[in-house]
Amino acid sequence: SCGVDVVLDVNVVIEGDVVIGDGAIIEANCVLKNCSIGEDAVIHAFSHVDGAVVGPQCQIGPYARLRPGAELGEQAKVGNFVEVKNSVLGPGAKANHLAYVGDASVGADANIGAGTITCNYDGANKHRTELGKNVFIGSNSTLVAPLKVEDDGFVAAGSTVTATVGSAQLAVGRAKQRNIDGWKRPVKPKK
């Protein structure tokens, strides 16, 4: 079903049971399949929404992929080249660039930095990542599940995190930088 004042741009594909709320905007070349789009949500161009629930006033894409089990609270944002699978993003939560959020719960107003990956699969089993309210995950972080970052927790950019981060704690999980004097770039053999 489709609400009032909905904008469907060119080449939008709608498959299965799709509900689009009043005032929603679906930009060009999106695919909507068995999903629900909330009031005043915007699905930017080239995004795929499959089996997901998108709350009111959410911003999705461009080039985002929401897979089955993705649930986004009011005003959540999933940006370009972000994939969300079997995860809940609370109201105001953001994953704006180049991230994978799988088998996770993300609290209200949490921020997931560019290049962050939730490592949910160990080769045999899937595990969950739990991020509390107001959590900040710095860019290029790797969150190895099972993992919990409590409310107001902070993960420094470039960290690999494997243990619980407590409330209002900063996790830094990276090696100290070393600068090697006299290093020579390898030379390719001549043909």
Catalytic residue annotation: 97
Sign of CA dihedral 103, 64, 11, 24: positive
What is the number of H-type helices and E-type strands within the chain?
A: 0, 27
- Parallel, antiparallel, or unpaired: how do β-strands 94-97 and 25-26 relate? unpaired
H-helix or E-strand spanning residue 131:
strand 129-131
Q: In the structure encoding, which two tokens stand for residue 6, read together?
A: 């909905």
Alpha-carbon distance of 24 to 86, in angstroms, equals 23
- Helix, strand, coil percentages (3-state) for the chain, rounded to 5, are 0, 40, 60
Distances (CA, A) of 33 to 7, 37, 57, 73, 97: 17, 11, 19, 19, 23
Whether 171 contacts 147, CB under 8 Å: no
